[in-house]
A and B are shown apart, each in its own frame.
Chain A
Amino acid sequence: GDKVKQSPSALSLQEGTNSALRCNFSIAATTVQWFLQNPRGSLMNLFYLVPGTKENGRLKSAFDSKESYSTLHIRDAQLEDSGTYFCAAEAGSAGNKLTFGIGTRVLVRP
């Protein structure tokens, strides 16, 4: 819900272009995870982040705990990048459970 605000809610990208997704947290997030849910419904873990930046191929993610936000950058978007991206935060006081955003539906067009 409002504890993790994810934007935009939907995104249409031309193949080969770049884009960025963002999450803002109103909870004291200590770690962030990004997931991609494919059309069959499987959730695949993309990144696990403590404050800082990680990169994996065409994806790059950052988490700033002081400013309470995280970003996911997609470079050179491919058709297989289509799906719904979720960010989820762990708040240290709440143990290891994840609080999810509502997701960003990404469609990559040829």
Chain B
Amino acid sequence: NAGVIQTPRHKVTGKGQEATLWCEPISGHSAVFWYRQTIVQGLEFLTYFRNQAPIDDSGMPKERFSAQMPNQSHSTLKIQSTQPQDSAVYLCASSLPPYEQYFGPGTRLTVL
């Protein structure tokens, strides 16, 4: 079991560009979560899916951020028109609810 896979591990974008982050959950896990980690805000929930359906996106910034789960083997987080304040480590986790969440290694996004 490879664990949760996130690609790319590092991404650098210019201000105003688009960034797409990918997550492959652990096989058989029905829930996928996205979190963001910064020095200032710590670990913050963004959104989650269960059985590919969006359940809660209460942590997503209302503009520019969107997430999808087109099939059970991957989810994407897209940030349009990236801004310097979007710089963070974006973490994906999966679980077999209601049990423990397993985190991927994260994608470090740097917006110049």
Contact = CB atoms under 8 A, between A and B. Distances in A.
A102 B42 contact: yes
Interface stretch (A19-27, A42-50, A75-83): A42-50
Contacts, number: 54
Nearest to A34: B100
B95 interface: yes
Contacts of A101: 42
Interface stretch (A10-18, A55-63, A65-73, A91-99): A91-99
A57 B33 CA distance: 29
Interface residues of A, number: 24
Residue of A1, A86, A95, A103 with most chain B CB atoms under a 10 A cut-off: A95
Interface in B78-100: 89, 91, 95, 97-100
B45 A98 contact: yes
Interface of A: 1, 31, 33, 35, 40-45, 48, 86, 88, 90, 94-103
17 contacts: A1-B42, A41-B105, A41-B106, A42-B103, A42-B105, A43-B91, A43-B103, A48-B99, A48-B100, A86-B43, A88-B43, A95-B55, A95-B56, A97-B33, A98-B35, A98-B45, A99-B45
